[in-house]
């Protein structure tokens, strides 16, 4: 039986690249979207075209009840996952004095609470497999060094890093690794058109944006059997920014 990996937020961008990369590496993929069902189904078709299995789950990772219902039902129907990639997230950028309570709450609810909402229904089934497993959280350079205009986002991603490190300790004896991949500036449609791109690129030693495929390659390594002794780590994919 082929191992299955859940990739949240996999209808586009980094999540899509991760899903396709893992399918190419031989995994069956459980895709996820909140609202872009047609795009997720297009990724599903791409994966099926290379001979791997894929299915789509749709729910809001910020909704704890919806998360548990969807994930518990999927595990009951198809069995526990080998791996989980916590990729889904959002930004609500702005200078701190201008951030609204909703800006703060929505980012923390999705990015940080989403860690619990997605993983809590899945960890015990993974343990009961009595086999190695992998959890990879997509965080951000903002969670490592902070970023102007992203106090809420930086807090959420730093929180995920801390949570992942703690969970890694809890699961190590179970042979389930927990790691983070922290991208820097990646060329996706999430990049704000108003960003001072030249100014930011000047701060990056490699002087370019990364690609979703470069992030996906890092995830593939951490998901692989060869990474069985790598846990509680943050792998930065940021062109040398930090």
Q: Is residue 242 part of a domain?
A: no
Locate the DSSP E strands across 64-174: 83-86, 133-138
Q: Could you state, in chain order, the average pLDDT of each consecutive group of 10 residues for the chain (242 residues)? A: 92 98 98 96 98 98 98 98 98 94 97 99 98 98 94 98 99 99 90 75 92 98 98 98 88
Residue 27 known to be catalytic: no
Q: In terms of C-beta density within 10 A (0-12 exposed, 13-18 middle, 19 or more buried), how is residue 125 classed? A: middle
- pLDDT of res. 2: 80
Q: State how many domains the chain has.
A: 1
**CATH classification of the domain holding 164:** 3.40.50.720
- pLDDT of res. 1: 60
pTM: 0.96
- Smallest Cα–Cα separation from 62: which of 102, 113, 123? 113
Q: Is residue 92 part of a domain?
A: yes
Q: Is residue 161 part of a domain?
A: yes
- pLDDT of res. 24: 98
- pLDDT of res. 194: 67
User: Range of 217's domain?
Assistant: 4-237
Q: In terms of C-beta density within 10 A (0-12 exposed, 13-18 middle, 19 or more buried), how is residue 2 classed? A: exposed
* Among 82, 116, 153, 221, the one annotated catalytic: 153
Q: Is residue 140 part of a domain?
A: yes
- pLDDT of res. 22: 99
């Amino acid at each position: 039986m082929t191992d299955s990996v859940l990739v949240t937020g996999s209808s586009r961008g980094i999540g899509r690249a991760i899903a396709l990369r893992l399918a190419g590496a031989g995994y069956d993929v459980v895709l996820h979207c909140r609202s872009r069902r047609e795009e997720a189904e297009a990724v599903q078709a791409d994966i099926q075209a290379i001979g791997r299995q894929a299915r789509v789950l749709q729910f809001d990772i910020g909704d704890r009840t919806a998360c548990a219902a969807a994930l518990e039902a999927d595990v009951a129907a198809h069995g526990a996952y080998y791996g989980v990639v916590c990729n889904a997230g959002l930004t609500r950028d702005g200078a701190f004095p201008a951030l609204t309570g909703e800006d703060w709450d929505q980012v923390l609810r999705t990015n940080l609470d989403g860690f619990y909402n997605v993983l809590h229904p899945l960890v015990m089934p993974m343990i009961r497999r009595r086999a190695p497993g992998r959890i990879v959280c997509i965080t951000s350079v903002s969670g490592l060094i902070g970023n102007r205009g992203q106090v809420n986002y930086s807090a959420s991603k730093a929180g995920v890093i801390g949570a992942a490190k703690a969970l890694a300790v809890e699961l190590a004896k179970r042979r389930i690794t927990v790691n983070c991949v922290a991208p820097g500036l990646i060329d996706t449609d999430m990049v704000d058109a108003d960003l001072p791109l030249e100014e930011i690129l000047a701060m990056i030693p490699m002087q370019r944006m990364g690609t979703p495929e470069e992030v996906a390659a890092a995830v593939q390594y951490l998901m692989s059997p060869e990474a069985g002794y790598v846990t509680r780590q943050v792998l930065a994919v940021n062109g040398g920014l930090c």
